[in-house]
């Protein structure tokens, strides 16, 4: 009988402990957002989430929520509404950090001659720069460069690749 009671008590204890085991939630809550400054930008302070230091490309990309690239239609360099929103975000960031200077890189897809694409990349970079200057950022803080079709981000001879390569990229200058 003693052995029976020992097994019974051990079983009851194991059952009680298994009932207390915590279960994983079906869905985890989202990561908390950083506090927002009065400019509406995330407040990363001097250290973006413990990773990126102020004045680095990583800090800039985090500060503009990844909107450091704008895209263009074929043979165009006009700023559309999506581009304007991204450039406004960049201007708010640059307004918060007046010591940061940037280069706007103009790019084109593989179609067209080298000279044509260099000129188109320059027009794209200048369009982005002029928009930022129009939003109050000093022209002395913005340099432009055209790479034409020389630095594609997507390889391939199709519309999907070409669309990714028709761009202007804002890069922090150290």
User: Which residue ranges make up each domain of the chain?
Assistant: 14-173
| Residues 22-34, mean pLDDT to the nearest whole number | 56
Query: Rounded to whole angstroms, how far apart are CA atoms 142 and 105?
Result: 10
Q: What is the residue-averaged pLDDT of the chain?
A: 85
8, pLDDT greater than 80 = no
**CB of 120 closer than 8 Å to CB of 75:** yes
CA 143 vs CA 8, 33, 91, 102: distances in Å: 80, 32, 14, 6
Q: How many angstroms separate the most distant Cα atoms in the chain?
A: 97
> Which of 80, 76, 52, 79 shows the shortest CA–CA distance to 66?
52
Write out the DSSP string of 87-108: HHHHHHHHHH-TT-EEEEEEE-
Q: What is the pLDDT of residue 49?
A: 47
Per-residue pLDDT, 52: 78
pLDDT at 74 exceeding the cut of 90 = yes
Which DSSP symbol is given to 42?
Answer: B
For position 39, what pLDDT does the model report?
A: 53
Domain 14-173, CATH number (from 1.10.3720.10, 3.30.1330.60, 3.40.50.720, 1.10.730.10) = 3.30.1330.60
- What's the rounded Cα separation, in Å, for the pair 107 and 125? 8
Predicted confidence (pLDDT) per residue in 89-131, tens digit: 999 999 999 999 999 999 999 999 999 999 999 999 999 999 9
Structure tokens at 36: 């927002």
Q: At what angle do helices 81-96 and 114-134 cross, to 10 degrees?
A: 60
Neighbour tally for 150: CB within 10 Å? 13
Residue 174 has pLDDT above 80, yes or no: no
Residue 42, pLDDT above cutoff 60: no
Average pLDDT over residues 146-170: 96
């Amino acid at each position: 009988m003693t052995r029976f009671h020992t097994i019974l008590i051990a079983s009851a204890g194991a059952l009680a402990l298994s009932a207390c085991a915590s279960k994983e939630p079906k869905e985890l809550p989202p990561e908390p957002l950083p506090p927002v400054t009065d400019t509406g930008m995330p407040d990363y302070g001097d250290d973006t989430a413990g990773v990126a230091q102020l004045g680095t490309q990583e800090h800039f990309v985090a500060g503009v929520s990844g909107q450091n690239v704008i895209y263009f239609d074929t043979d165009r360099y006009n700023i559309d509404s999506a581009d304007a929103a991204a450039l406004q975000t960049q201007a708010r960031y640059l307004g918060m950090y007046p010591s940061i200077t940037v280069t706007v890189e103009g790019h084109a897809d593989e179609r067209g001659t080298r000279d044509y694409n260099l000129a188109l990349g320059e027009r794209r970079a200048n369009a982005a720069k002029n928009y930022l200057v129009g939003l109050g950022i000093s022209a002395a803080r913005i340099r432009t460069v055209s790479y034409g079709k020389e630095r594609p981000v997507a390889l391939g001879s199709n519309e999907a690749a070409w669309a990714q390569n028709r761009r202007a990229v804002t890069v922090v200058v150290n």
